[in-house]
Structure 1
């Protein structure tokens, strides 16, 4: 299904003003996938893991692994409270479980408990110093916790482990842009020129560089896609980064629409889905705080 992001104009006749008008922004066509549903395989895995945990004689190590596996499945299907409970159980059985600390940290970021999230990621990295994704997730926690210098440092380390990955280029740009937007864009251009290939997801970087319009990007997203899951995953990523771009431009309403579209695909285990929800919550809180301040000013008059 293809929709227009721009609202319909009025059909009432209005005499156009004599002065020249700025050109209208190019409308972006929106593509929708069928939202992902819980698969039979996931349901079967949850049933099997639950049975093993309740009926088998297991060592603490084995119980920790099974709790972790079940938590990952819970997370994949969007049952995050149950997932967090099982990750915590895994840590109780195996206190040196770095991957479980990493997941707990991600959930704490989504709840905006940044200090506790830093501690969880620190524990993961203390146990596994080369755990790349713990650096990314700690960097994202620092990014949302308004500590951009530390965020850029962590995400740069994540980027350097695989610089050919366009998502690492994007997240490093987002972190660096909080420090110096112009320099961040120059850095992104250099990384793009050095590492890009023909993969479709480099189009996301081209979008941020201004080499591609949103309409062109959406036209490329569907190329080569044969399965609905692939389309849903691509759209989750694409709409999230479009939302971040619009938010950076100050286009709040457009950003909200894109973040909601990112969520609509139900790709629960993608970081773009996780943080689209956080972005919406942050925007809602900011608006509520602004409303509260205005109300207090009015009351004091």
Structure 2
């Protein structure tokens, strides 16, 4: 059972039955690949470009295993050796966002877009950095640009909604209804949008999580996403204890590569800093 206790009469105690899954284990293949990259870096005489790519590839593997400090070190090495690697700046921007170093994060994402103006995920990640940096207007612009690349993606719709909600909740709800018209109701992630629209209850959303799942990894990924967006919903309602519990559940999945996992930790750090926990 997931419990969230609120002390005021208008904020009742919540007791919600939630689905669980075992945390994803570390991928041994990634660990073996890291060892191989390390041998190549240490033993081979490589040109700067080749060495940069090895650091970048090893950094991605560290990131996928949740080893953020080691990943950040490798990404920094890569960009020092080859300053035109757009994807490295994107990863560095994410890491600066997670450390709440928003100015540096904006610089990294700006560098990505200077090198490649069509880099979709730079718009997403800069938009998220702007959202957490309390600049919702600019965040909306970037997240809308990200949505424009794929208007039928429910996750892109949700991030636009979250940014708009921070600026004007009533207008955000109207815009969500309009954006949802481009979505496929058969896509499982549509259930998240339907929940935010008020078309389905939290109980129905939770019950939908196992449906159509074909692997443990897929189930853990779905749980990570659902827990994060449920946390954001309750956070907006002022249910901080329940939001915190959902964020911790998102982290318990070990889906390190997902946006929802990464920013669940940032959300908890921000809530703790604000005394909301």
TM-score (norm 2): 0.94
Gaps of 5+ in 1: 9-20, 291-301
Supply the distance in 2 between the matched residues of 1:287 and 1:25 (Cα, whole angstroms). Answer: 20
1:70 counterpart = 2:67: no
Gaps of 5+ in 2: none
Contact 2:151–2:182 (8 Å) recurs in 1: no
Shift of 1:215: 1.1
| 3-state secondary structure, aligned to 2:275 | helix
- What is residue 271 of structure 1 aligned with on the other side? 259
Alignment map for 1:1-301 (pairs within 5 Å): 4-6=1-3, 27-287=15-275
Distance 1:159 1:7, change over 3 A: closer
Corresponding residue pairs, total: 273
Supply the distance in 2 between the matched residues of 1:208 and 1:26 (Cα, whole angstroms). Answer: 18
Shift of 1:31: 1.0
Q: Please identify the structure whose Cα radius of gyration is greater.
A: 1
Supply the distance in 1 between the matched residues of 2:90 and 2:4 (Cα, whole angstroms). Answer: 42
| 3-state secondary structure, aligned to 1:253 | helix
Shift of 1:195: 2.4
Shift of 1:149: 0.4
- CA-atom RMSD, angstroms? 1.9
| 3-state secondary structure, aligned to 1:31 | coil
Supply the distance in 2 between the matched residues of 1:212 and 1:83 (Cα, whole angstroms). Answer: 40
Cα offsets for 1:158-207 (capped at 9, x unmatched): 00001111000000000111121111111111111232330111100011
Shift of 1:25: 8.5
Shift of 1:56: 2.0
Shift of 1:29: 2.1
Shift of 1:28: 3.2
Supply the distance in 2 between the matched residues of 1:283 and 1:58 (Cα, whole angstroms). Answer: 46
- What is residue 17 of structure 1 aligned with on the other side? none
Contact 1:28–1:214 (8 Å) recurs in 2: no
Contact 1:28–1:218 (8 Å) recurs in 2: no
| 3-state secondary structure, aligned to 1:196 | coil
Distance 1:7 1:185, change over 3 A: closer
| 3-state secondary structure, aligned to 1:30 | coil
